[in-house]
Amino acid sequence: MKKPVVKVDFQDESPKNGKFKSRRRFIKLGGLAFAGSSFLMYSCSEDDDFNPAGQEPDPMEPEEPEEPEEPEEPEEPAAFDLGSGNIGVFNYAYALEQLEAAFYTEVVANFYSGAMDVDGVSEEETLTDIRNHEVIHREFFKTAIQGLVDNGTITQDQMLPELTFDFSGAVDFSSRQSVLETARLLEDTGVSAYNGAGSIITTPEYLLLAGKIVSVEARHASAIADLLEPNTTAFARDGVLVALREGGDPAYDKAQMPSEILPAVVGLDIIEEEFTATELP
């Protein structure tokens, strides 16, 4: 595995300062080093082919449970780690889909006033459709990961638990603008996250599944942006795309790695639980 193809700053549309959050996350990862030196090596290595044991890690092989050393503050439980390889990507996707589904569930349950129907399609119907898709994605990943637990591929404690969310500081659900801007950020982030995760996935079947979902997230991102700025370039705007060649136009979605996505998502201060991704690039 290599560095992300496109290094882009997440800050352009993020409401908070991504750099500060990145730094905070790095400090947090450093603090977890006591849990096992291999974790520290993974988290510091930009080249995740690097393998201190000299063996090809099998991402589907159940991890040997690390025996944590005595923590300095014994009352602190360790944060859940998403894991590596396919399992890590599943947990990662499950986390993002939980966030999206929870957000749209709130939106639909208490739909804002002032909706503007564009091109004859009701805005409420559009957001309800998206809510449905995200709930289906969330339940799909939950079922899929639970299936891996049930057949012994991973243990129950390697499956990301259900997360809880507090949107109160981040979203005003009575405000069309606040809801749609949050939706746009979540969808654009989802697209970039799935695009980045593609190269972490090691089996064609799982890659295809990610591909089936990411294009739907992109359809959402496009629709939400167009609700905010109808019939402009917003649906695939220069500001959210990147160029891939010198002198070229921004004509490509971002592809960011979990190490870039997660600090930005955590920075929204919506997810109540902390989790880490020390074994994902």
Partner 1 sequence: MKFIKLLENLADKESLAANTSRRDAFKQFKNIGKDVALASIPFGLAATSSKTKAATAAMSSAMFQASPTDVLNFALTLEYLERNFYRMALDTDGLIPDEHRDVFAQISKHEDDHVEFLMGALGDDAIAEPTFDFTGKGLNLDTFSNYQTFLALSQGFEDTGVRAYKGQAGALMDDDNLLTYALQIHSVEARHASQVRRMRGEKGWIVQNNTTIPDAFAGIYAGEQNTEQGGVDLAGMFDDFGGNDAITAAFDEPLTMDEVNAIASNFIVMDSDGEDSED
Answer yes or no whether residue 194 interacts with partner 1 by CB under 8 A: yes
- 243: its two tokens: 């160029």
- Least distance in Å: CB of 49 to partner 1? 11
- 205: its two tokens: 């079947």
- Least distance in Å: CB of 83 to partner 1? 13
Answer yes or no whether residue 13 interacts with partner 1 by CB under 8 A: no
Binding mask 70-109 for partner 1 (x = CB under 8 A): ------xxxxx------------------------x----
Size of the site for partner 1 (CB under 8 A): 92
Binding mask 124-143 for partner 1 (x = CB under 8 A): --x-xx-xxx-xxx-xx-xx
d(CA 11, CA 30): 23
Q: Are 52 and 38 contacting, i.e. CB atoms less than 8 angstroms apart?
A: yes
H-state helical runs in the chain: 18-31, 37-44, 85-109, 123-150, 176-197, 204-228, 258-266
Region binding partner 1 by CB under 8 A among candidate stretches 33-41, 145-153, 168-176, 178-186: 145-153
Helix (H, G, I), strand (E, B) or coil at 203: coil
Residues in 197-226 at the binding interface with partner 1, rule: CB under 8 A: 198-199, 203-209, 211-223, 226
Place of tokens 């629709």: 223
Answer yes or no whether residue 249 interacts with partner 1 by CB under 8 A: yes
198 vs 117, 142, 256, CA distance in Å?
35, 19, 10
Answer yes or no whether residue 180 interacts with partner 1 by CB under 8 A: no
Residues in 31-50 at the binding interface with partner 1, rule: CB under 8 A: none
